Structure 1
Amino acid sequence: MSPTAHTQPPGSHGSEAVAPIPVDIPVALGDAFAWYTPGQLPRGVLLCGTFGFEQGCAYRSWRELAALIAGAGCPTLRFDYPGQGDARDPDGPEIPAALDAIRAGIAFLRERAGVDEIAVVGLRLGATLAALSQEGDPGPGIDRLVMLSPFATGKAYRREMAMQSRLLDVMPDRTPMPQEPDALMVGSFVLGPQTLADLGRLDLMAPARAPARRILLLGPKVDSLAERYRALGSAVETGPFPDLTQLVSDPLFSRTPVETFAVVRDFVVAGADGASAAGTRAAAGAVAPAPGRLTDAAWSEEVSRFSPGLVGILCRPAAAWSGDTVLVVNSGRNPRAGHGRQTTRLARRLAAAGIASFRFDLRGIGDSPDRPDGSLPLYAADSVAEVTAAIDHLAALGHTPGVVLGNCSGAYQAFQALAQDARLRAALLVNLYCFDLKPGTDVETMVRDTFRHSQGYLARARQGRFWRRILSGEIGLTRIAAALLRDGRARLDRWTTRMPWRTLQRASVAGRVARIRRRGARICMVYSADDLGIPTVRAHFGASDDRIGRRLGYPVTILPGTDHNLSRQADQDRIFALLERVVRDARPAAGEPAPARPSRSPRGLALRLSRSG
């Protein structure tokens, strides 16, 4: 078997469209957090994603694969491992907890979904763990197993992650980020000493029992593993996994391998309609579980859906609630858990301090629906209406947020929402690149162009490697000229932004900030040192730090020695301390009336509030 795959832009699925997303149900599997979709066939399918940064890149495509399989009639379950995504942190080591979660998922499908056959699909490290989860299990085992580019050993995974870390986790000057002793940071996810040690003991060639009766292996260098499984009695098919890197290496521009996923669906569904009569009766009588809620000593979380089809999680304090709620907007295309799972950890830390929070997915991100035109949600003008919808939803629950938090593109949406909705009393904007985006801007080109800052070229011009890349044709002179021209236009725009004919306009940034301040709201801005957004602030508000502080309500905070994603724990601690202060300052005075909702949604997008448990 030699399946092929191609990739498509978000919202575009080539000749074979991904099935409409069925309604799935949030459930708890011990410490894991899962989404379950019922089905009428007696074969359940468990999707075991990979870990950390790679799963963050693949999250939305993984959801599409679940929908594709569920659309064929199989009950389907996908989940976050303990310590990842929206799951709880495990009480013990991470790798054994992940194996337990896989076994719990299989048990859920057998017992709660009423199936008598199990198919498992694993991606990268998830494929390795799925195969090893059956070691020593006397149960009926897995009927079909799909392994997408598995790691033959945990040591191979560690080596590849170490290489990725040198590319992903870098300081502003492109030097590697300092690592914690005996740990490895990969895309802001930290593999601790125990996890690294446990990974070192994983070996797919060691078990004396095949993990499944039928196995599909897709990816490079799988021939030896395929022969091993055949020797153990499995029927094994193999094939390539084209464009794997497009799926797991870039959270902003990840692409769904539609044709390969169609092959996966066909393999796991094949023959399911001919399963035993007992299984058919069990599936027909299965009862869908009640929506899952996760709780801990300090917090309680519940998933909710609201118009237009958006998904979010309200995190409440387990003890006394201060009355404060923070709204968190996605950064880039990171799902609501945030880059490196920072948002989930922040939410639970806020709950321990008595502060509620709501993290949600804009359209085109995480578990929310696609944008109607399939475009990227980054800096989308109409996404502010979705932030307004989240505020409406929280208001209906008695949790009207006072503070909105966003990083990078999320900071852009947070500023727009603060300017348009008087119910927000403050914003914490981290690494805001721009306050406005001109209509017609090619956002994808803007984000992809890593050389958009002319200083980047000037610094690289002193490096021999830069000139070798030009001479080899890897970097074209046209690309350099275009980037310098864009940067020059941006500099001219910043230089003229405080000219009288612009500052007197009601739509100017300075004018909007002045109106925000007149209603008593404030803006707290935080930047990594040398971030590209810093000149924008000075362009709009001047070079005087004191003057900027007076105009925004807080002085701008610059964090030296950190990266754009604030990956280090010390920098996340600084953000938490600043957020706590902003929340305290934003509390309304006693007897102050609550501000009204805007008379209509921004950009005329009609939103109807709905709620589901």
Structure 2
Amino acid sequence: MVCSAYGQEEMCTHYGVMGLADELALAGVPTLRFDYLGACNSDDGDVCLRGFVEDTVRAVECLRQHCGPLPVVLAGVRLGAMVALSSSGRVAGVAGVVLMAPVLSGRTYMREVRAAAAVSRLASLDPPPQAGSGEVLNTNGFHWSAMLQDEVSTADLTHLTALHAPLLVLPSPQDRQSPKVAEKWAATGAPVSVVPFAEYGTWMQDPTLHSNPVQAFAAIRNWLKELPAVEEKELHGTLPGSTRTLRGEGFMEEPVRFGPDQSLFGILCLPADGKAAEVAALLLHEGSSYTIGNGRAYVKLARTLARQGIASLRIDLSATGDSPARNTRHPHYDLERIPESVAALDLLQQRGFPVAVAFGQCAGAYTAYQVVLADERIVGGVITNIQKFTWHYGDDIAVSFRDNKRSLKGYWRAMRSKGEWKRVLRGDADMSGIVRVLLKRGFMQVTHQVKSLLPPAPDSEMAIVHAQMRRLAQRGVQLHLLFSDDDPGLSEMWMQFGRKARRLKNFAPIRMTLVKHADHHFNGSDARERFYELASVWMKEAVASRAASIVVR
């Protein structure tokens, strides 16, 4: 039983946890992953630590319905490790507990969470509240309720004396507390093993660049082999009592498999009564997230649209989320992944939705844009903070990350943020990289300003992008290019379409919209709500346009 982390840490480790579960299953160990209530793809509800423990106990019951009354090992990542250890005393027959980079002192952990929020780029939009204020804490779009903050802050497992099963502790290199606590537990005679989690740093980072902790997972498998053996049994079918449909307020959702060898994962969200417009939304996540979207944005958007009578399909491209890897290249800037999105359109068409509007943000915006170009079943697009209209095959995504800094306007705003100055003083800001990128951008903008006085050269990047836009305009695609007003992607827009994208008017009905005081991922509370409002309006326009075209025909 795997208890996940929470918030951005869950986002970073989600794909790895799926890999761990797959490895254990191949080794003959049935493994269940689940989402806490109010988190990830589960139903909406109060998010609290007590609820996480209750969910874990119920998940164990579900697993045993399938596997029988066998011993169970509880494994947890970060805050999920606290959940796993807290749940072990409430579950009978626990054979062991695995703690991966565990949170043992909730007070220390919440202090770190708030400190990170205070120096983040989001701090100027959603300043982190004081501890005990009763206000919501926003970390990268994930909201920590006052209840969750208070419960975690008061949780302390460092003084735990009654251990209910053998423990495997994998402390991160920066964690000095867990090894000492494990040593104290071992001194009481408890069976405790400690294996350094050397790969933690390469796992707990943006999923676009991270790698799974191969050595740590091998250590877990080897430790499990040392536990007392149990009788093997053959398992069949799905979990008894489980359902493929999640029904919530005004919506119902079904997990789906599609694409080559049914290897791609998605969630189809429909209105509660099953009656939806012919136009569906295809939600393509950014490179740093999966089906839920950054800060669970796509979950809320999908359910909001469902309540308005509009269906949606949010998917994981291969090598992200719950879709296994089919190649090792970055999923969003790889043209070989475009057919995966087309396969999603095939699924929508099979389910009664002949046309769709493609949504994408950041790297996902590039994928969405390419799908709009590739398939005429796409009648609209919401392309948010796209960074590149063209991608040269073989380009290194890491280099793009290095060169993708803020806009000049963004830096002027950052200068008014105490958190940003703290980052500079602590040495966390890449000052040399910032200077390098600003100089590079300045040179490129001057060059493009000069070139803009002349017609674009044939086969130039500008000529290619203009030809693409002309095709979309001729098709009547309602393409919305949405940007936060200080996003670095605006430099790409100015380069392709002139200052303030003045040449975009030549490609109607394609439009650009700027949202003030929005971060790159629209994680700020006000910006996120504005995104939902615009998405709803544009989807309703697409539905109305579709209905009008049917009447005309």
TM superposition score normalised by structure 1:
0.79
Q: Specify whether residues 384 and 185 from structure 1 end up closer, same or farther in structure 2 by C-alpha distance, changes over 3 A only.
A: same
Q: Specify whether residues 386 and 488 from structure 1 end up closer, same or farther in structure 2 by C-alpha distance, changes over 3 A only.
A: farther
Q: Which residue of 176, 181, 189 corresponds with 2:142?
A: 189
Amino acid at match of 2:484: S
1:557 aligns with 2:513: yes
Partner of 1:211: 164
Amino acid at match of 1:128: M
* Contact 1:514/1:551, CA 8 A, preserved across alignment: yes
* Contact 1:454/1:484, CA 8 A, preserved across alignment: no
Partner of 2:71: 117
Partner of 1:266: 222
Q: Which residue of 107, 127, 146 corresponds with 1:178?
A: 127
Q: Specify whether residues 475 and 346 from structure 1 end up closer, same or farther in structure 2 by C-alpha distance, changes over 3 A only.
A: closer
* Contact 1:169/1:177, CA 8 A, preserved across alignment: no
TM-superposed deviation, 1:489 = 4.6
Q: Which residue of 233, 249, 254 corresponds with 1:297?
A: 249
Amino acid at match of 2:146: P
Q: Specify whether residues 483 and 590 from structure 1 end up closer, same or farther in structure 2 by C-alpha distance, changes over 3 A only.
A: closer
Partner of 2:384: 430
Name the CA distance, whole Å, in 1 between partners of 2:436 and 2:235.
Answer: 66
Name the CA distance, whole Å, in 2 between partners of 1:359 and 1:264.
Answer: 32
Q: Specify whether residues 502 and 52 from structure 1 end up closer, same or farther in structure 2 by C-alpha distance, changes over 3 A only.
A: same
Q: Which residue of 105, 109, 126 corresponds with 2:59?
A: 105
- Aligned pairs for 1:93-492 (under 5 A) are 93-135=47-89, 137=90, 139-170=91-122, 175=124, 177-179=126-128, 182-205=135-158, 207=160, 209-212=162-165, 214-219=166-171, 220=175, 221-230=177-186, 234-271=190-227, 274-275=229-230, 279-280=231-232, 283-284=233-234, 288-289=238-239, 292-308=244-260, 309-319=263-273, 320-372=275-327, 374-450=328-404, 484-485=439-440, 488-489=443-444, 492=447
Superposed CA offset, 1:417-462 (max 9, x none): 1122111111111111121123443222111335587899999999
Superposed CA offset, 1:236-292 (max 9, x none): 1113211323222323222211111100111123346x32xxx54xx3366532653
Amino acid at match of 2:127: P
1:577 aligns with 2:527: no
Tell me, what secondary structure is at the counterpart of 2:104?
Answer: coil
- Aligned pairs for 1:589-608 (under 5 A) are 589-590=547-548, 592=550
Name the CA distance, whole Å, in 2 between partners of 1:523 and 1:113.
Answer: 50
Partner of 1:12: none
TM-superposed deviation, 1:201 = 2.6
Select the structure with the greater relative contact order (CA < 8 A; seq sep ≥ 6). 1
Greater CA deviation, 496-505 or 414-423? 496-505
TM superposition score normalised by structure 2:
0.87
TM-superposed deviation, 1:479 = 9.7
- Aligned pairs for 1:524-539 (under 5 A) are 524-539=480-495
Q: Specify whether residues 318 and 458 from structure 1 end up closer, same or farther in structure 2 by C-alpha distance, changes over 3 A only.
A: closer
TM-superposed deviation, 1:594 = 12
Q: Specify whether residues 462 and 440 from structure 1 end up closer, same or farther in structure 2 by C-alpha distance, changes over 3 A only.
A: farther
Partner of 1:517: 473
Partner of 1:15: none
Amino acid at match of 1:178: P
Name the CA distance, whole Å, in 2 between partners of 1:494 and 1:566.
Answer: 29
Tell me, what secondary structure is at the counterpart of 1:284?
Answer: coil
Name the CA distance, whole Å, in 2 between partners of 1:594 and 1:130.
Answer: 60
Amino acid at match of 1:366: G
Superposed CA offset, 1:195-230 (max 9, x none): 111112312145553132x11112132234324534
Greater CA deviation, 179-188 or 66-75? 179-188
Name the CA distance, whole Å, in 1 between partners of 2:437 and 2:539.
Answer: 43
TM-superposed deviation, 1:581 = 2.3
TM-superposed deviation, 1:379 = 1.8
Greater CA deviation, 50-59 or 144-153? 144-153
TM-superposed deviation, 1:583 = 1.9
Partner of 1:16: none
Q: Specify whether residues 243 and 497 from structure 1 end up closer, same or farther in structure 2 by C-alpha distance, changes over 3 A only.
A: farther
* Contact 2:285/2:315, CA 8 A, preserved across alignment: yes
Name the CA distance, whole Å, in 2 between partners of 1:176 and 1:243.
Answer: 33
* Contact 2:88/2:97, CA 8 A, preserved across alignment: no
How many residue pairs end up in the alignment? 533
* Contact 1:454/1:487, CA 8 A, preserved across alignment: no
Name the CA distance, whole Å, in 1 between partners of 2:402 and 2:482.
Answer: 23
Name the CA distance, whole Å, in 2 between partners of 1:415 and 1:287.
Answer: 39
Q: Which residue of 13, 35, 41 corresponds with 1:80?
A: 35
TM-superposed deviation, 1:483 = 7.6
TM-superposed deviation, 1:322 = 2.7
Amino acid at match of 2:163: A
* Contact 1:452/1:486, CA 8 A, preserved across alignment: no
* Contact 1:82/1:89, CA 8 A, preserved across alignment: yes
Q: Specify whether residues 402 and 224 from structure 1 end up closer, same or farther in structure 2 by C-alpha distance, changes over 3 A only.
A: same
* Contact 2:456/2:463, CA 8 A, preserved across alignment: no
Name the CA distance, whole Å, in 1 between partners of 2:485 and 2:185.
Answer: 52
CA root-mean-square deviation: 3.4
Tell me, what secondary structure is at the counterpart of 1:143?
Answer: strand
Name the CA distance, whole Å, in 1 between partners of 2:276 and 2:406.
Answer: 45
Amino acid at match of 2:219: V
Name the CA distance, whole Å, in 1 between partners of 2:121 and 2:503.
Answer: 35
Name the CA distance, whole Å, in 2 between partners of 1:476 and 1:546.
Answer: 32
Superposed CA offset, 1:83-112 (max 9, x none): 11111122x452222111111121122222
1:502 aligns with 2:457: yes
Tell me, what secondary structure is at the counterpart of 1:360?
Answer: strand
Greater CA deviation, 396-405 or 524-533? 396-405
TM-superposed deviation, 1:356 = 0.6
* Contact 2:406/2:487, CA 8 A, preserved across alignment: no
Name the CA distance, whole Å, in 2 between partners of 1:482 and 1:581.
Answer: 36
Amino acid at match of 1:428: V
Q: Specify whether residues 437 and 489 from structure 1 end up closer, same or farther in structure 2 by C-alpha distance, changes over 3 A only.
A: farther
Superposed CA offset, 1:135-168 (max 9, x none): 4x3x524111111121222212211111222344
Identity of matched residues, %: 27
Tell me, what secondary structure is at the counterpart of 1:448?
Answer: helix
Amino acid at match of 2:48: E
Q: Tell me which protein shows more helix as a share of its residues.
A: 2
Name the CA distance, whole Å, in 2 between partners of 1:480 and 1:434.
Answer: 21
Name the CA distance, whole Å, in 2 between partners of 1:383 and 1:84.
Answer: 28
Q: Specify whether residues 67 and 392 from structure 1 end up closer, same or farther in structure 2 by C-alpha distance, changes over 3 A only.
A: same
